């Protein structure tokens, strides 16, 4: 859990420094298929355009991240890092040529991991968590499509795919160890 809180603290620290100093760090976001944009694989989730942007990432990240780290402590850090790095790498490879910033790819990755892990694992606890996430965050599906200018729907879609992929692989690997 400390890992999650440190990440959110770092997001807010970067945003606060950016606001306090009056600088814009968005050029450290992901700009697909460019050498300059490679740094964004590491930095883009820490950079947010405004207070609404960072708050709209913080609240679901805290809830979904807490759920991930509380219920799946043994794999939570791996899932988080897969959602962080694989999502950003794939955004760099496949997204439209535009700056992509913010932690929403991670939010979508964790949400879809939590949803699909229950479906793939098929135990009561995981299915209950899936149902709760669908109930509270089912509206995330609308963010998978290009419906708002200036929003990286590609990060959302790729994060969702990565989260589903991680859920399938972790559920499979756990099933193999039991058998």
Give the CATH number, domain containing residue 158: 1.20.1540.10
Return the bridge partners of 100, or none: 30
Cα(118)–Cα(55) distance, integer angstroms: 28
The answer to whether the beta carbons of residues 102 and 57 sit under 8 Å apart is yes
Question: Average model confidence (pLDDT) for the chain?
Answer: 94
Q: For residue 104, give its domain range.
A: 2-178
| Tens-place pLDDT, residues 12-71 | 999 999 999 999 999 999 999 999 999 999 999 999 999 999 999 999 999 999 999 999
Q: How many CB atoms neighbour CB 21 within 10 A?
A: 9
- Kindly tell me if the per-residue pLDDT of 123 is higher than 90: yes
32 DSSP 8-state letter: T
Count of structural domains within the chain: 1
The answer to whether the beta carbons of residues 74 and 131 sit under 8 Å apart is no
Dump the DSSP string for 70-102: HH-HHHHHHHHHHHHHHHHHHHHHHS-SS-B-S
**Residue 175, pLDDT score:** 52
Q: Taking residues 134-161, what's their average pLDDT?
A: 92
| Tens-place pLDDT, residues 168-178 | 999 998 655 44
């Amino acid at each position: 859990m400390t890992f999650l809180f440190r990440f959110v603290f770092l997001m807010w620290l970067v945003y606060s420094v950016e606001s306090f100093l009056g600088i814009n760090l968005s050029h450290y976001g992901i700009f697909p298929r460019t050498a300059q944009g490679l740094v964004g694989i590491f930095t883009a989730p820490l950079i947010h355009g405004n207070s609404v942007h960072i708050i709209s990432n913080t609240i679901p990240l805290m809830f979904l991240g807490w759920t991930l780290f509380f219920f799946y402590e043994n794999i939570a850090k791996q899932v988080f890092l897969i959602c962080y790095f694989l999502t950003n790498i794939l955004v760099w490879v496949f997204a439209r040529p535009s700056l992509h910033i913010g932690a929403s790819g991670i939010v979508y990755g964790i949400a879809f991991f939590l949803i699909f892990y229950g479906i793939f694992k098929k135990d009561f606890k995981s299915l209950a968590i899936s149902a709760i996430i669908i109930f509270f965050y089912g509206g995330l599906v609308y963010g998978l499509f290009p419906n708002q200018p200036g929003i990286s729907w590609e990060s959302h879609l790729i994060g969702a795919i990565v989260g589903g992929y991680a859920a399938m692989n972790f559920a499979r690997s756990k099933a193999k160890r039991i058998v």
